[in-house]
Amino acid sequence: MSSTVEIIKGGGDRPSETFKRNKLYKSLVSVCMSVKIPQGQAEDIAGSVCDKVITWLKDKSEVTSNDIRTAAAKHLKKLHQEAAYLYEQHHIII
Amino acid sequence: MSIAASLAIIILAALIHSSFQLSLSVLTILSGHTIGSKNTQKKLFSLTTNFLFGAGIITLLLMSVIVLILINLFGSNSPQVIWAGGCGLLFGVAISVWLFYYRRQKGTALWIPRGVAKYLMVRTKATKMKSEAFGLGMMSVMGEILFIIAPLFVGSLAITQLPAPWQILGIIVYAEISLSSLSIIWFLIGRGKSLSKIQRWRENNKYFLQFVAGAGLIVLSLFVYVYEILGTTVGGL
């Protein structure tokens, strides 16, 4: 991964920020726990997905928050389909 | 209008009200955040119950205000032009529901402006206390006022036709029934039903629910038109 990856938020409507692994990790743990995955397993899954997303970000300097979400959901789907479904749905429920 | 006919209108209007989805979406997100933030089942129950109460209280208040205004303006016999306006409102909202209610995309995203949706998401995420959940329940009902105003208005018109002691009962019956779908989701979440299954069911059936809500509004509009407009003009000749 390049030293800092810029995340463009809200299609450019909101200020961009640098990629933070911990932020992605927390949201993944939260979604895993909301489908009743035990905390330890949720942390393992979140860690694994974060690693995959970081590998994917390696040659990129700028991506959108939606790209991050799509990439994370794709990897999460391989580990837990229900959690991935809820993760994908989060921004399109309302 | 007979008591039975008034109650039929109130019940049908409340059932249509219960088919609107914004409160259900907000309750689903609230539950997801609460479970995902390592809160206890007790905390989940407390927040979702207060959310339900908030939605119920605002429905009672809205209904009471509309009934009070109608009684002050027209007494217990609203003129036919008001009933005709109610029919038109129902019909117009029915068409709007069929055309605009769900966005043409994945998920259950609704017609509401994206700014409002984002605000509701932020508020839902920030909800940690009972009072906040109560307020969120109220806000989620107000957020759909453009759609629920039609069944609320016609339900209120029917309530004004009832004898005084029945009017309170009518308001309570309306509020209770309008909360039925929200109560079912609240119960399922409380019993530990998976949120993803609930959301998947909602997503898979969203166009059916949209059709039913629109069709219900048309049926109610026709019923009111035939019973209250035609019934008192043609039948009254």
- pLDDT tens for B187-197 read 999 999 999 99
Residues in chain B where the model's pLDDT stays below 50: 237
Asked whether residue A1 is assigned to any structural domain, the reply reads no
Token pair belonging to B175: 């509020």
Burial class (CB in 10 A: 0-12, 13-18, 19+), B123: middle
pLDDT recorded at residue B115: 86
pLDDT recorded at residue B237: 46
d(CA A47, CA A38): 14
pLDDT recorded at residue B192: 92
pLDDT recorded at residue A34: 93
Residue B40 main-chain phi, psi, to 5 deg: -80, 165
Residue A21: its H or E element: helix A21-34
Token pair belonging to A72: 């994370």
Contact A86, B32 (CB under 8 A): yes
Contact criterion met (CB < 8 Å) for A86 and B25: no
Asked whether residue A82 is assigned to any structural domain, the reply reads yes
Total structural domains within chain A: 1
Domain boundaries, chain B: 3-233
pTM: 0.93
The distance of B194 to chain A (nearest Cα, Å) reads 6
Beta strand A14-18 with A6-9 is antiparallel
Residues in chain A where the model's pLDDT stays below 50: none
pLDDT recorded at residue B222: 97
Q: Which of B43, B104, B114, B195 to mutate to test the interface with A (most CBs of A within 10 A)?
A: B195
pLDDT recorded at residue B14: 98
Q: A51: domain range?
A: 6-92
pLDDT recorded at residue A13: 74
